[in-house]
Structure 1
Amino acid sequence: MKKKRLLPAVVLSTAMLAGTFAPLPAEAVHTNVSTEAIAQKHGLDNGNKPMFVIEKQAEKQHASNAAAALDHLEKNTNKYKIKNPKASLLEKKTEKDELGMTHVRLQQSKNGIPVEGSEVIVHFNENNGVTAVNGEFNTVVDKAEMDTDPSITQSLALAAAKQAVKAPKKLEYQPTSELVVYPFEGDSYLAYKVNVNFMGEKPGNWFVYVNAQTNEVIDQYNALMHADGFLPAEGSGLGVLDDHRKLHVSHKNEKNREGTKFYLSDYSHNNLDGIHTYDLANQWGGTGEVHSKIGSAWKDDYDRPAVDAHYNSEKVYEYYLEEHDRNSIDGEGMAIVSKVHFGEDYNNAFWNGREMTYGDGDGEFFIPLSAGLDVAAHEMTHGVITHSGGLKYRNQSGALNEAFADIFGALVDEDDWEVGEDIMADPAKESGRTSLRSLSDPSKYPVGADYVPYGDGSGMYPSHMDEYYDLPLNLDNGGVHINSSIINHAAYLTGGQIGKEKLGQIYYRALTVYFTPDTNFSQARQALIQSAVDLYGESSEEALATEDGLNQVGITE
Structure 2
Amino acid sequence: MKKKYLASAVLSTAFLMGSITVSDAAVIGPSSNSSSVASGTEWNENANVPIFVKERFAKKQHESSAANAQDYLEKHSSQTGIQNARENLKVKDVQEDDLGMTHVRFDQVKNGVKVEGAEIIVHYNEDREPVSVNGYHNPQAAKETIDTAPELTSKKAVDAAKSSVNAPEDMKYDPETELVIYPHDDQHYLAYKVNITYLGDQPANWFVMVDAKNGQVIDQYNTIAAVDGDFHKGVGTGYWGDQRELHTTRVTQPRESTLFVLQDESHDELEGIYTYDADTDELVTNQSSSWKAEDLRPAVDAHYNSEKVYDYYVEEHDRNSLDDEGMPIISYVNYGTDFNNAFWNGRHMTYGNGDGSYMVPLSAGLDVAAHEMTHGVITHSANLVYRNQPGALNESFADIFGALVDEEDWEIGENIMGPGAEADGRVSLRSLSDPSKYDVNDEYVSYGNGEGKYPSHMDEYYDLPENLDNGGVHVNSSIINHAAYKTGEQIGKDKLGQIYYRALTTYLTPTSDFSHAREVIIQSATDIYGEGSEEEQAVADGFDQVGIY
Q: 1:255 offset after TM fit, Å? A: 5.7
Q: 1:344 offset after TM fit, Å? A: 1.0
Counterpart Cα distance in 2 of 1:172 and 1:56: 48
Equivalences for residues 192-207 of structure 1 within 5 A? 192-207=192-207
Equivalences for residues 158-177 of structure 1 within 5 A? 158-177=158-177
Q: Which amino acid aligns with 1:369?
A: L
Q: 1:45 offset after TM fit, Å? A: 5.5
Q: Which amino acid aligns with 2:474?
A: H
> Cα 1:360–1:414, aligned 2, differ >3 Å: closer, same or farther?
same
RCO comparison, higher one (Cα < 8 Å, 6+): 1
Q: Match for 2:52 among 36, 51, 54?
A: 54
> Cα 1:197–1:313, aligned 2, differ >3 Å: closer, same or farther?
same
TM-score by length of 1: 0.90
> Cα 1:220–1:175, aligned 2, differ >3 Å: closer, same or farther?
same
Equivalences for residues 23-422 of structure 1 within 5 A? 43-44=29-30, 46-52=32-38, 53-59=51-57, 60-224=60-224, 230-254=229-253, 256=255, 259-281=257-279, 288-422=281-415
The secondary structure found in structure 2 opposite 1:358 is strand
Q: Deviations over 1:69-106 (max 9, x none)?
A: 11110110111001111110000000000000000000
Q: 1:47 offset after TM fit, Å? A: 1.2
Counterpart Cα distance in 2 of 1:398 and 1:213: 29
Q: Deviations over 1:386-430 (max 9, x none)?
A: 000000100000000000000000000000000000000011101
| Aligned equivalent of 2:509 | 516
The secondary structure found in structure 2 opposite 1:248 is strand
Conservation of the 8 A alpha-carbon contact between 1:225 and 1:382 = no
Counterpart Cα distance in 2 of 1:403 and 1:58: 35
The secondary structure found in structure 1 opposite 2:105 is strand
> Cα 1:391–1:479, aligned 2, differ >3 Å: closer, same or farther?
same
Gaps of 5+ in 2: 1-25, 39-50
Conservation of the 8 A alpha-carbon contact between 2:35 and 2:138 = yes
Conservation of the 8 A alpha-carbon contact between 1:237 and 1:247 = yes
The secondary structure found in structure 2 opposite 1:114 is strand
Q: Match for 2:442 among 446, 449, 474?
A: 449
Q: Deviations over 1:428-474 (max 9, x none)?
A: 10110000000000000000111111111110000000000011100
Q: Deviations over 1:345-401 (max 9, x none)?
A: 111000000000000000110000000000000000000000000001000000000
The secondary structure found in structure 2 opposite 1:542 is helix
| Aligned equivalent of 2:15 | none
- Do residues 435 (structure 1) and 435 (structure 2) align? no
Counterpart Cα distance in 1 of 2:158 and 2:429: 37
Q: 1:224 offset after TM fit, Å? A: 2.1
Counterpart Cα distance in 2 of 1:117 and 1:232: 43
Q: 1:55 offset after TM fit, Å? A: 4.1
Conservation of the 8 A alpha-carbon contact between 1:117 and 1:518 = yes
Counterpart Cα distance in 1 of 2:383 and 2:28: 17
> Cα 1:355–1:265, aligned 2, differ >3 Å: closer, same or farther?
same
> Cα 1:353–1:41, aligned 2, differ >3 Å: closer, same or farther?
closer
Counterpart Cα distance in 1 of 2:308 and 2:31: 42
Conservation of the 8 A alpha-carbon contact between 1:262 and 1:293 = yes
The secondary structure found in structure 1 opposite 2:52 is strand
Conservation of the 8 A alpha-carbon contact between 2:37 and 2:52 = no
Q: 1:254 offset after TM fit, Å? A: 3.1
Conservation of the 8 A alpha-carbon contact between 1:507 and 1:528 = yes
Q: Which amino acid aligns with 2:114?
A: P
Q: 1:333 offset after TM fit, Å? A: 0.4
| Aligned equivalent of 1:483 | 476
The secondary structure found in structure 2 opposite 1:546 is helix
Q: 1:41 offset after TM fit, Å? A: 8.6
Q: Deviations over 1:161-209 (max 9, x none)?
A: 0001110011110000010000011110000000000011111100000
Q: 1:256 offset after TM fit, Å? A: 4.7
Q: Which amino acid aligns with 1:49?
A: S
Q: Match for 2:467 among 466, 470, 474?
A: 474
| Aligned equivalent of 1:526 | 519
| Aligned equivalent of 2:5 | none
Q: Which amino acid aligns with 1:373?
A: L
Counterpart Cα distance in 1 of 2:113 and 2:460: 39
Q: Which amino acid aligns with 2:297?
A: R
Q: 1:235 offset after TM fit, Å? A: 0.4
Q: Deviations over 1:306-357 (max 9, x none)?
A: 0000000000000000000000010000000000000111110000000000
Counterpart Cα distance in 2 of 1:279 and 1:406: 26
Counterpart Cα distance in 1 of 2:467 and 2:396: 20
The secondary structure found in structure 1 opposite 2:104 is strand
Q: Which amino acid aligns with 2:217?
A: V
Q: 1:522 offset after TM fit, Å? A: 0.5
Q: 1:131 offset after TM fit, Å? A: 1.3
Q: Deviations over 1:462-489 (max 9, x none)?
A: 0000000011100000110000000000
Conservation of the 8 A alpha-carbon contact between 2:252 and 2:259 = no
Q: 1:50 offset after TM fit, Å? A: 1.2
Q: 1:46 offset after TM fit, Å? A: 4.4
Conservation of the 8 A alpha-carbon contact between 1:443 and 1:460 = yes
Conservation of the 8 A alpha-carbon contact between 1:225 and 1:352 = no
Conservation of the 8 A alpha-carbon contact between 1:249 and 1:266 = yes
Counterpart Cα distance in 2 of 1:526 and 1:58: 20
Counterpart Cα distance in 2 of 1:248 and 1:41: 45
Counterpart Cα distance in 2 of 1:417 and 1:45: 32
Conservation of the 8 A alpha-carbon contact between 2:182 and 2:190 = yes
Conservation of the 8 A alpha-carbon contact between 2:264 and 2:274 = yes
The secondary structure found in structure 1 opposite 2:488 is helix
Conservation of the 8 A alpha-carbon contact between 2:225 and 2:469 = no
